[in-house]
Amino acid sequence: MANKLESTLPNMILSLVTIGVVMAASLGFVYIKTKGPIDEAAAKKELDAIQQVLPEFNSDPANGLIEKDGVIIYQVSKDNQPVGFAIKSYTEKGFSGHIEIMAGFLPDGKIYKVTVLEHKETPGLGAKMTEPKFCDQFSGKNPENFVLKVKKDGGNVDAITASTISSRAFCDALQRAFDTMKEVTDSIADN
């Protein structure tokens, strides 16, 4: 039979430290092994979203990337002709908090398409913001003259029934995307 360690405070501390070191090393190993594939999957998801919200392009979106105040702008082109901007925007005003969208804008400022990347809104209510019935109402509209507020607040957007807060949040994220794009493109034009 193997000798058992005596149950003393130093032996218990040694056992806990050993277990902690082994677990930390194990977690570190798993992190290193999974980080690459997770990053690749996230990059692919972002590229897919960019392709969903803009017409066909053949430039690398990462080459025209601009970040401003947490909003990411991807400038894309086809055969060196501008196609538009894919803008990853967000809001914290959702019913359940954080919402992320990807909005595609044509060079003239019109919205091409919008898709929701992330949300925690109520299934069957606020989650309807991901459905074409809601998102398609923005296509072809220019926020210069299409007020990105729900009709209840004096805007042009048909809110989701029983989900005015989620609809307002979506509009807030889309307005943030448009405002950031305008600010960046205006500063580029001034230079």
Spatial contact of 22 and 30, defined as CB atoms under 8 Å apart: no
| pLDDT, tens digit (0-9, with 9 covering 90-100), for 32-48 | 999 988 888 888 888 89
Average pLDDT score over the chain: 91
Q: What's residue 191's pLDDT?
A: 61
Q: What's residue 57's pLDDT?
A: 94
Checking if the pLDDT of 3 tops 80, the result is no
6 vs 126: which has the higher pLDDT: 126
Residue 187 — pLDDT band, cuts 50, 70, 90? confident
Q: What's residue 189's pLDDT?
A: 65
Checking if the pLDDT of 7 tops 60, the result is yes
| pLDDT over 90, % of the chain | 69
| pLDDT, tens digit (0-9, with 9 covering 90-100), for 121-154 | 888 888 889 999 999 999 999 999 999 999 999 9
Spatial contact of 151 and 168, defined as CB atoms under 8 Å apart: no
Checking if the pLDDT of 1 tops 60, the result is no
68 vs 1: which has the higher pLDDT: 68
Q: What's residue 2's pLDDT?
A: 59
Q: Which residue has the tokens 């058992």?
A: 4
| Number of neighbours of residue 156 by Cβ within 10 angstroms | 16
Residue 91 — pLDDT band, cuts 50, 70, 90? very high
Spatial contact of 127 and 74, defined as CB atoms under 8 Å apart: no
Spatial contact of 11 and 5, defined as CB atoms under 8 Å apart: yes
